[in-house]
Every structure is written in structure tokens, then in C-alpha cells.
Chain A
Amino acid sequence: MNIKKVLFVLFCSFATQNMINAQTDSIVKAKVLDDGSQDAEKFYNSGISNFANKNFNAALNDFNQAVTLKPDFERAYYNRGAVKFEMKDYNEAIADFDKALTINESADSYFSRGQAKYALNKKEEAMADYTKTTEVKADYAQAYYYRGGIKFENADYKSAIDDFTRAITIKPDYAYAYNDRGSAKRQLDDIKGAISDYNKALVANSELAFTYNNLASAKRKLGDLKGAISDYTEAINQKKDYYVAYNNRGSAKLDNGDYQGAVDDFTKAIQLKADYSFAFNNRAAAKYKLKDYKGSIDDCSKAIQINSSYGYSYLNRGIAKEMIRDNSGACADWIKAAELGVESAKNYTGDCK
């Protein structure tokens, strides 16, 4: 029970709030505390214990006591902020990080405040905090990584690549950073570069289903359908309910002329996610190839039922209706698709009266 000697991984859960898998590389270590000579520190340690056991209210109470007893207890403010973050009370969390920063300008506090601001969708402010983090601590790999993520979301892929590269330089086994840099390269149409990075991510951590999925999609883009299908399969093996990968593998099979195999994969994706409009839409495309026009129309209708503004599904339904000689129905669908912004639908409406 020598709890004081234990390294607390308080931030483990906090920092990975939005991650698919646990992200061990963004852990912020808590301070090792001396024997409890002060009450504030006792409450502080109790708070950490309660946090670890997900007793957030009790943890909050403990940190409240700690800062009451010791108003300049920077780490207690910091940890209270972490608890509030966990309780999705982001504004209050930011207030605690602000307080911690007034006492001591620590990289962790900037970084965590950045995370809270990101959660509030204040991306610019979050980015500023990550920058501040790196100014305080130049080798703070996660700060570069998360800043790169925001740049990616802002479609500033070149800068994102720079940030991911910095994160990788600091932490050469940073699998997530490799994955995301690969994705940024892919967005810039550097598909070969993307494949190289995805492979490096998998060398660092071979248990990343989403990276296998991304690698497969990059291969599909290059026309390597066999390689794509194999990597999607690996993603599915690692994550049995990975409906995104089923949907993607279905598309690769469809591209590869395996129409029935594609139908089966889309069906599996639908079984895993009953309202997955993409899988219905894509299954319609596979059924069309199998000349099952009625089935194709039904699937498009389901996709449209799930998402009434699904322009592409209207386009596709029109294409299937044309084959059963329902010209007025096809025209109505193409006109609707064009209204919903699908430009290619306008190519087909020329004969519509």
C-alpha cells in the first residue's frame, strides 16, 4: 500500500478522451509525493486514488479540500482540472488550468488546457496552447502531434506534416504520428508516401486496426486491390466489429469485379451498423453490377430513408431505375440529386421532360 511511491497515471484516461485506442504516449506523470506531512497533500493523494477508481465526485471533493488547505497547490488545481475534464465540465477545467498556470507556467497545464479548449471546439485557442506547451518544453511530442491534428482538420496538410514529423523526431516510435502523417500525405495525393508512413506506424505498433484500414484505402487508391483487400481483412481480424473496414473492403471487392463478395461485405457492415447509409448505397452499386436492379433501388431507398439529403444515393437510384425502364422515376431522382449538389447528375437530365 505504499501508494506514495506509486507513479500515478492520472492523465492516462484524460488525455485519451477522444482516442479510439489507449494512447500510452500522452500520459502525463503526476509528481511523486513525500510522506504525508501535510493534510492538503493527503487529500491530494486521496483524490488521485479516487480518480483512478473513477470516483470522480470524491476525487473532486479531495482536490477541493487540498486547494482550500493550500491555495498555491498548483498540482491540485491541475488534477482538479483533469477530473473536471473527465466529467466533461470543460469550462471549469480550463479555469483550474488557468489557476495552475498562474502559480507555475508548466507545459502540462498548457497542454491540458489545449485539450479542454479543443473539446469546446475552440481549435485556434487549443492550437495556441499547444504552441505554448512547446515553448515551455521543446521536446513535448504530444503537443506537436495534437497541433498537427488540428492543422489536418483545417486542411493545412503541409504544416500538419511538419508537426507530425517533429513529434516523430522527438519520439521515433510514435505510431499515431506516423499514421496521421501518412493520412496528411494521402490528402496531398502522395499515396506512396502515405503507404510508407502507415507501414512505419505498424512497425511501431502492429495492433492498429485503423492503420491497416488506412493502408488498405491508400493501396486501393493506387489500384492495388488485392493488397487493399488483404489489409482490410487484417483490420477486420483485429477489430471484429469494424464496420468501416467492411464497407471499404466491399468497395475494393466491387472495384475488383467480385460483386457478390462486395454485397456480402456491405451486408456485414449493415449488420454491425443498421443505419449505415454508406453501406446501403454501396451495396446498391454492387447489386447493380449483378443486374439486380430492384435490389439496387431498394438499397438506395434505404440509404435515402436514413439520410434524406443523400444526393449520391438519389443519383445511383436513378441509374438503377433507368435499367428497369422507369424513366420518369430516374429523371426525378437525377433532378433531386442535382438539387442536392451532385454535379454529375446534370449529365443525365438532358432527356428528362
Chain B
Amino acid sequence: MKKIYTLLALIITANIFAQNIEFTKDNFKDNKDGLKEAKNNIDKGDELFALATVFYKQALDPYYLSAQKFNPNNALLNYKIGKCYLYSNYKLKSIPFLEKALQLNPAVDPQIHYLLGKAYHLNMEWDKAIKSFQTFQQTLKGEELALMMGEVNVHISQCLTGKEMVKNPVRVFIDNIGAEINSQFPDYSPVISADESVMLFTSRRTNSTGGKIDPQINENFEDIYISTRKDGKWSPAINMGSPINTDNHDANSGLSADGQKFLIYIGNNNGDLYESELKGDKWSKPDHMNKNINTSYHESSACYSPDGKSVYFVSDKPDGGLGDRDIYISNKDEKGKWGKATNLGPTINTQYGEEGVFIHPDGKTLYFSSQGHKSMGGYDIFKSVLNTETKVWSEPENIGYPVNTPDDDVFFVTSASGKHGYYASFNATGYGEKDIYMVTFLGLEKPMIQNNEDNLLASQAAPVKETVIAPVLEIKEAQLTILKGVITDYLTKQPLEAIIEIVDNLKNEVIASFTSNSSTGKYLVSLPAGRNYGIAVKKENYLFHSENFDIPKTAAYQEVVKDIALKNIAVGSKIILKNIFFDFDKATLRPESTNELERLTKLLNDIPTLKIEISGHTDSKGADEYNKSLSNNRAKAVLDYLVKAGISVGRLISIGFGEEQPIASNDTDEGRQLNRRTEFKILSK
């Protein structure tokens, strides 16, 4: 009797599950046309499926999915659809198809348990993933066993790591940075200047330079885009155009802390690295980095050290490598050439791949992605800190879930403050394909403070209050100072391209040298804590400007904005005093001229040897003699002001040129306005 029940139970169980239905005439006697079309779709899908994983998307939609509508109960088709999804952006959609394939026919494909394990892994179903991987391991034999065992064990170990990591998530906000930057196309690999004012990123848009599809990967070619941030808002991203973007793959890599230089990946020669510099408002033609960096192998991501003297980069060259892709460093020699590359060593590089290298503006915190170390799946982002005294890297630390996921997490950069990180990720709620996200690190949970009280004294009705104070949190923030601002001419207010030298005052050596942008005058330098810095701003024919920053080791992150106005002292140089005003038709200085006159007085006081000629100019209206006299009187008024302010008359000459020296046309109002001016010329210094 018991046997009968068991048999019945088995029959009932078997009937609950659908059976594998092949695409045969017998199974679809009533719909021959439908069958024909479905088989046709499968054939077309199979052609693409056989090419490479990058064609799975097209195999899936429309071909396989159309056939699936006709017959949802075919094990092999479910398997293929599951596999296509697993290699798409919609990886988790693979699970029901792979599960169904397994249920319809457990022998559908030898890899079914492996793929299911990967899918569960991505869906963070840790136990199911481990079980699937273990089942797959049991099916392996001989050569296959030797080949796959290690890889599957890595997956299992990643699942165990992931299981622990999700129990202790890092506190972050992750925000899509918006439609100004992200598009329906893949947008990724963001890099930022230290103060988060400039972002470069890579995108594969249909209007990429050249407008072609890369047949190798079945995607648009990459171009680099730029956006700037003002008042907390990113400007609409623009294609950087020529000479940065070419018909080939152009992907940004590292951006210098001041946003004035960047490293580019171009798909030539199996992938090489280039440099470009912002000159005024134009980026220079990408310059191929030398053979110490580029090899015949694949050089991909790279970044500058904050002093600009080193470059960290990734290469898969076998020479000096410890595994797949590794991170190397190259230092600039005295001639300014990139020197021989050194592998960062086994603390950082593993037998697996390392990618997406980024050194924080503090010069010692390295962020990189690795498939090794303690990854929860694919590439995870890790952090290691260089001991600046012993030159030893700390054991890489996984930056945690949910920034890291079971999928590949690569190309992560942080702001100088360490409060924000930027990276790309695919999320169904985004703008399409991969988008760029900003991570806001909240740090350890801020403990709320509770208040309690007890009736400690039996004789007292009033309870005694007690506040349980939580321990003070260790504030983990970047210990550096960002010094930035605009360098201008003291009098003309025009932006200046000046050299900014950073000196370690204790060692009396120049640590780094930067140049402010000629068209904006902007500069930014990163000053890691623990030194006394001298900042020297220099430009030929300008008075030298210096600043001192003593930043103790324990100093917290700070951004100091310091606009610097340099004083022009070139003999013969003429400076128009744009802010000197006179009463109409008179030589009486108006009160709003005071600031300009005070600046001029200070300049003469600062450089006691300076001798100047003050000249007055008019437009062409009115009689020549009258104009000459008026301009002479006006120049004299300025001279008198300066003498009254204590400047020796021997250092000053005043002269009126009337309309003799126009700087613009006298035919327009605007031109005449420019011609009516007071200027001074440096006679000697």
C-alpha cells in the first residue's frame, strides 16, 4: 500500500511541472506556420549567439524572445535566453529562464548549474549560488575539472565574502548625477578635478566622432565628454571634439587635481595612453606617452599623482606582471620624461585583474578595482594607503557594499574631501545603459543619544538624570588642504598664466610646480597635511607673490580659496586704469576712483624704485588743443593724488596726449569710450 502512495505522489509531482517541448511538427500539428517562423527565429538567433557574447542582445531580441512566445517550454531555448540575459545589462532576468531550463531538462547543458550559480551570485542569493556552484563542481571531470575548479572556488569564496559584506553595509547615498551628464547610451568612467568642479567621462553615443560601430564589440565608438559644475549643478556635457576625440575609441582616464591635464586611452596599438593639457581654453593634441608606459600590450586606465610627478597606470604586459592586468607606477625624470615603470607589488596586484586606478589628492590613498583580494564578485573597488615613511602599501580594504556589488565595479574616483565618490553603474531606474552616479559617504552611523534617569536615592522622589554619551566618532576624512583660486593682473584684472611652485619649507625643496590656466587664471594645488608649505606664484615682469601654509598632520580637510593678483613691473608696459573717473568735461576725480588710486599708491609703495608716467587720453570729439589740455589736467590730477598720498614727485611724470594715441575707433560710442582713458607706463623699476 505504501508503495502505491509513493508512486501516486511521484506521478502527481511530475505532472505539476511542465514537460520539455521540442520544436517539432508532432508537437505543433495545428500551427505549422508558427512553428516554421519560430524555428527560423531560433536559427537567426543561433547565428548571433555563436558569434560572441556582445551579439547576445540581438540574438535575444527579437529572435529568441519571439520563439519563446510560440513555445515557452523548450529547455534549450530557455537556457539560451537565460544565458543571453546573463551577459546583458538585465542579468537578473536570466534567473527564471535558467531555472525553467533546468527544470525542463536537467541535462540541457553541462554549464547550467554554473550559469545559475553566477545568476544567483549576482542576485545576492548567496546560499543558492554556492549550492549551484558545488553541484556544478560535482559534474566536472578530468581536464575540465582541472580547468574550472579554481574559478568555481573563487566564485564560492566571493559568495561567502558577499554574504558577510551585505550584513554590514557602508552608509552611503547613491545618486544618479542627472540628465545633464547621463544619456540613454552607456556613460561611464568619470574622473573629476579635486574640487569636483570639472568632470570628464566616456560615453558611447550614436553621434560619436566618426559615427561608426566597433564590429569587435558591436557598440558605438567611445568619445570623451566634459561638464563643469557651478553652484552645485553640472553643466550639460559636451563632446570634447577634436583633437581629443578621434574615430577610434577615446576614453578618458586620469584628470589632474587642478583639472588642467588628463590622461587618455586610445584604442591604437592594442590600447595606449596619451596626455593632453589645457592651454587657455583649448586642449592640446593628445601626446603619446613614451615606451616606459606604452607597450604592445593593453595599457588602459591611468592617473596622475597630485604633484604631477608620477603616473599610476594599468597594463596587461607580461613583463614584470604578477597576473592578469597589474598597476604600475612611473616617475618623471629630471628632464620631465616618464621613467621606467615599476609594478606596485603583490600587496596591490594579484594573479587576477586589477583595473581603474585612482590616487586621491592626498597622494597616498590608492583606489583601484580588483578581481582578487576579498571581492564579493567580479571587480570590486579597494583602497590601500601608502605609508609615506616606509613606502609600504597597506593591505587593500574592500570599500564595501552597496558601492561594491557582485557585478564588476570599476573606475571609481573620489573628491579631495573624501566625502564623494563617482562611478558608473547600470540601474534599471537610470537614463539607459550605464549611468554615472555620485556616492556620498556618510561614515559610521552617528549614534543618537538617549537620556535616562533612575531613583538612585531612596529618600529622594526626584530621579537622578543620566545621559549615556556614545563614544566620540573617529572622523575619517581626508587630511589635506586644497588651495585654489584665480591669478590675475593686479590692475587690469585679466587672468594670468603664472607658475605656482610648492616648496617644502623644512627641506627647502620644490615639491611640485603647476601653471594657472591662461584663459581663466584658475589654479588648484593639493597640500597633504603634515608639512609647512611655501607657495610661490611667479610670472616674468610681475612682482613675486608668496603664501605660507603650515598644515599640521592632524589638520582636517579644508578648501582654501585664495585669489592672487600679481603686480606688473615690466619696463615700458602700459596699464589702463579702468576705474578712474572724472567729472564730465573736467579734471576733477570722482569719488569712485578711490579704490583704483589706492591700488596704484600701494603698488608704488610696494616697489619703491618704480617710476611711472601717467598719461591722459581723450576721444576725437572736440578741438585738439582743448583735448590735450583736458587730458593733461586729468593726468596731473592723478599725479597730485599720488603725491598727496606720499609718493615722491620725482618718481612720477604726467602727460596729456589728447586724442593722439587712440586704442580703438573714434567712429563708435564704444570705441570713443575706450579711447577716453587714463593709463600709466612703467619707466623704470
Are the C-beta atoms of A18 and B446 separated by less than 8 Å? Answer: no
Looking at A94-102, A103-111, A126-134, A344-352, the stretch in contact with chain B turns out to be: A344-352
Are the C-beta atoms of A18 and B556 separated by less than 8 Å? Answer: no
Q: Contacts A244-B453, A285-B448, A347-B472: A146 and B459 contacting too (C-beta < 8 A)?
A: yes
Q: For chains A and B in complex, what number of residue pairs have CB atoms within 8 angstroms?
A: 106
Choose among A153, A210, A316, A325 the residue that contacts B448 (Cβ–Cβ < 8 A). A316
- Measured CB to CB, the nearest residue on chain A to B173 is A325
Q: How far is the CA of A210 from the CA of B460 in the complex (A)?
A: 11
Q: How far is the CA of A316 from the CA of B223 in the complex (A)?
A: 47
B470 on the A face (CB < 8 A): yes
Q: How far is the CA of A291 from the CA of B556 in the complex (A)?
A: 30
Are the C-beta atoms of A288 and B453 separated by less than 8 Å? Answer: no
Are the C-beta atoms of B454 and A217 separated by less than 8 Å? Answer: yes
Interface 0/1 of A311-346, CB less than 8 Å to B: 010011001101001000000000000000011100
Interface 0/1 of A174-210, CB less than 8 Å to B: 0110011001001100000000000000000000101
CB contact list, A16-49 vs B, under 8 A: 18-21, 23
A248 on the B face (CB < 8 A): yes
B8 on the A face (CB < 8 A): no
B457 on the A face (CB < 8 A): yes
A251 on the B face (CB < 8 A): yes
B663 on the A face (CB < 8 A): no
A152 on the B face (CB < 8 A): yes
Choose among A20, A153, A176 the residue that contacts B461 (Cβ–Cβ < 8 A). A20
- Measured CB to CB, the nearest residue on chain B to A152 is B457
Choose among A20, A152, A186, A316 the residue that contacts B449 (Cβ–Cβ < 8 A). A316
Q: How far is the CA of A179 from the CA of B457 in the complex (A)?
A: 7
Q: Contacts A176-B459, A214-B456: A254 and B450 contacting too (C-beta < 8 A)?
A: yes
- Measured CB to CB, the nearest residue on chain A to B171 is A323
Interface 0/1 of A102-124, CB less than 8 Å to B: 00000000000000000000000
CB contact list, A301-315 vs B, under 8 A: 312, 315
Are the C-beta atoms of A213 and B454 separated by less than 8 Å? Answer: yes
Interface 0/1 of A262-300, CB less than 8 Å to B: 000000000000000110011011001000000000000
Q: What's the nearest-Cβ distance from chain B to residue A136, in Å?
A: 21
Q: How far is the CA of A319 from the CA of B465 in the complex (A)?
A: 23
Q: How far is the CA of A150 from the CA of B457 in the complex (A)?
A: 10
Are the C-beta atoms of A183 and B457 separated by less than 8 Å? Answer: yes
B interface SS class = loop
B671 on the A face (CB < 8 A): no
Interface 0/1 of A215-257, CB less than 8 Å to B: 0010000000000000000000000000010011001001000
- Measured CB to CB, the nearest residue on chain A to B467 is A312
B238 on the A face (CB < 8 A): no
Are the C-beta atoms of B454 and A248 separated by less than 8 Å? Answer: yes
B506 on the A face (CB < 8 A): no
Chain B residues with CB under 8 A of A277: 451
Are the C-beta atoms of A213 and B455 separated by less than 8 Å? Answer: yes
Q: What's the nearest-Cβ distance from chain B to residue A114, in Å?
A: 12
A145 on the B face (CB < 8 A): yes
Chain A residues with CB under 8 A of B458: 19-21, 23, 175-176, 179-180, 208, 210-211
A interface SS class = helix
Q: How far is the CA of A210 from the CA of B453 in the complex (A)?
A: 11
Are the C-beta atoms of B442 and A350 separated by less than 8 Å? Answer: no
A81 on the B face (CB < 8 A): no
B388 on the A face (CB < 8 A): no
Chain B residues with CB under 8 A of A217: 452, 454, 466
Are the C-beta atoms of A285 and B459 separated by less than 8 Å? Answer: no
Chain B residues with CB under 8 A of A251: 450, 452, 468
Q: Contacts A278-B452, A347-B475: A322 and B442 contacting too (C-beta < 8 A)?
A: yes
Interface 0/1 of B376-418, CB less than 8 Å to A: 0000000000000000000000000000000000000000000
Number of interface residues of A (CB under 8 A): 49
Q: Contacts A19-B461, A347-B475: A186 and B448 contacting too (C-beta < 8 A)?
A: no
Q: How far is the CA of A17 from the CA of B222 in the complex (A)?
A: 86
B374 on the A face (CB < 8 A): no
Are the C-beta atoms of A344 and B457 separated by less than 8 Å? Answer: no
Q: Contacts A312-B449, A315-B449, A319-B446: A344 and B459 contacting too (C-beta < 8 A)?
A: no
Q: How far is the CA of A187 from the CA of B454 in the complex (A)?
A: 12
- Measured CB to CB, the nearest residue on chain A to B556 is A350
Interface 0/1 of B647-665, CB less than 8 Å to A: 0000000000000000000
Choose among B450, B455, B459, B470 the residue that contacts A282 (Cβ–Cβ < 8 A). B450
Chain A residues with CB under 8 A of B456: 152, 180, 183, 186-187, 214
Q: What's the nearest-Cβ distance from chain B to residue A97, in Å?
A: 19
Chain B residues with CB under 8 A of A288: 448
Are the C-beta atoms of A149 and B457 separated by less than 8 Å? Answer: yes
Q: What's the nearest-Cβ distance from chain B to residue A130, in Å?
A: 12
Q: How far is the CA of A277 from the CA of B453 in the complex (A)?
A: 12
Q: How far is the CA of A179 from the CA of B455 in the complex (A)?
A: 10
B539 on the A face (CB < 8 A): no
Are the C-beta atoms of A285 and B472 separated by less than 8 Å? Answer: no
- Measured CB to CB, the nearest residue on chain B to A244 is B463
B681 on the A face (CB < 8 A): no
Are the C-beta atoms of A145 and B459 separated by less than 8 Å? Answer: yes
B12 on the A face (CB < 8 A): no
Choose among A149, A214, A248, A348 the residue that contacts B459 (Cβ–Cβ < 8 A). A149
Chain B residues with CB under 8 A of A149: 457, 459-460
Chain B residues with CB under 8 A of A348: 446
Q: How far is the CA of A176 from the CA of B458 in the complex (A)?
A: 6
Are the C-beta atoms of B470 and A281 separated by less than 8 Å? Answer: no
Are the C-beta atoms of B449 and A278 separated by less than 8 Å? Answer: no
Choose among B446, B472, B477 the residue that contacts A322 (Cβ–Cβ < 8 A). B446
Interface 0/1 of B76-115, CB less than 8 Å to A: 0000000000000000000000000000000000000000
Q: Contacts A244-B463, A347-B473, A351-B419: A319 and B448 contacting too (C-beta < 8 A)?
A: yes
- Measured CB to CB, the nearest residue on chain B to A284 is B448
Are the C-beta atoms of A344 and B454 separated by less than 8 Å? Answer: no
B14 on the A face (CB < 8 A): no
Most chain A beta carbons < 10 A, residue from B446, B458, B464, B468 = B458
B146 on the A face (CB < 8 A): no
Q: What's the nearest-Cβ distance from chain B to residue A166, in Å?
A: 16
Are the C-beta atoms of B452 and A180 separated by less than 8 Å? Answer: no
B428 on the A face (CB < 8 A): no
Closest A-B pairs by Cβ, 8 of them? A210-B455, A183-B456, A176-B458, A285-B448, A278-B451, A316-B448, A312-B449, A179-B458
User: A residues within 8 Å of B by Cβ?
Assistant: 18-21, 23, 145-146, 149, 152-153, 175-176, 179-180, 183, 186-187, 208, 210-211, 213-214, 217, 244, 247-248, 251, 254, 277-278, 281-282, 284-285, 288, 312, 315-316, 319-320, 322, 325, 342-344, 347-348, 350-351
* Listed A/B pairs (13) with beta-carbon separation below 8 Å: A18-B459, A21-B458, A145-B459, A176-B459, A244-B454, A244-B463, A278-B450, A278-B451, A285-B448, A285-B449, A285-B450, A320-B448, A350-B475
User: B residues within 8 Å of A by Cβ?
Assistant: 173, 419, 442, 446, 448-461, 463-470, 472-473, 475, 477, 556
Sample of 12 further A-B pairs with CB below 8 A, known A149-B459, A149-B460, A315-B448? A23-B458, A180-B456, A183-B457, A210-B454, A211-B458, A288-B448, A316-B448, A343-B472, A344-B472, A347-B472, A350-B477, A351-B419
